[in-house]
Amino acid sequence: NAGVMQNPRHLVRRRGQEARLRCSPMKGHSHVYWYRQLPEEGLKFMVYLQKENIIDESGMPKERFSAEFPKEGPSILRIQQVVRGDSAAYFCASSPRAGNTGELFFGEGSRLTVL
């Protein structure tokens, strides 16, 4: 059962380092979403991507965060110069289509700890 695959499951970084989180959508899904769960907060939308296109990045912090979904390979969420406030669980989701989307399927999350 090839669901949404995220790696690494856990990542520890020191302040100022870079974090890269990867997400492979379910087979046949071409729409990828990243959500963030900060401690003691609910999940919040960050970005929606299709292959080679960022469709909506309204939930992304303006600096240090970027996302891509290349033609080949997984989607990448990149956080440069991490700070302690970036410590959170980052969830990726995928969907087979947009427009009255239907169900989003979530991965198990990547937990980033910034020391």
Partner 1 sequence: GIQVEQSPPDLILQEGANSTLRCNFSDSVNNLQWFHQNPWGQLINLFYIPSGTKQNGRLSATTVATERYSLLYISSSQTTDSGVYFCAVETGGTSYGKLTFGQGTILTVHP
Collapsing DSSP to helix, strand or coil, 86 comes out as helix
Q: Which of 12, 15, 38, 44 binds partner 1 (CB under 8 A)?
A: 44
- Dihedral sign (CA 84, 85, 91, 94): negative
Site string for partner 1, 63-102 (x = CB under 8 A): --------------------------x-x-x-x--xxxxx
At its nearest, how many Å lie between partner 1 and the CB of residue 73? Answer: 21
Asked if 43 is part of the footprint of partner 1 (rule: CB under 8 A), the reply reads yes
Asked if residues 9 and 72 have their Cβ atoms less than 8 Å apart, the reply is: no
- Dihedral sign (CA 58, 63, 68, 74): negative
Q: Which of 69, 75, 109, 114 binds partner 1 (CB under 8 A)?
A: 109
The residues binding partner 1 (CB under 8 A) are: 31, 33, 35, 42-45, 48, 55-56, 89, 91, 93, 95, 98-109, 111
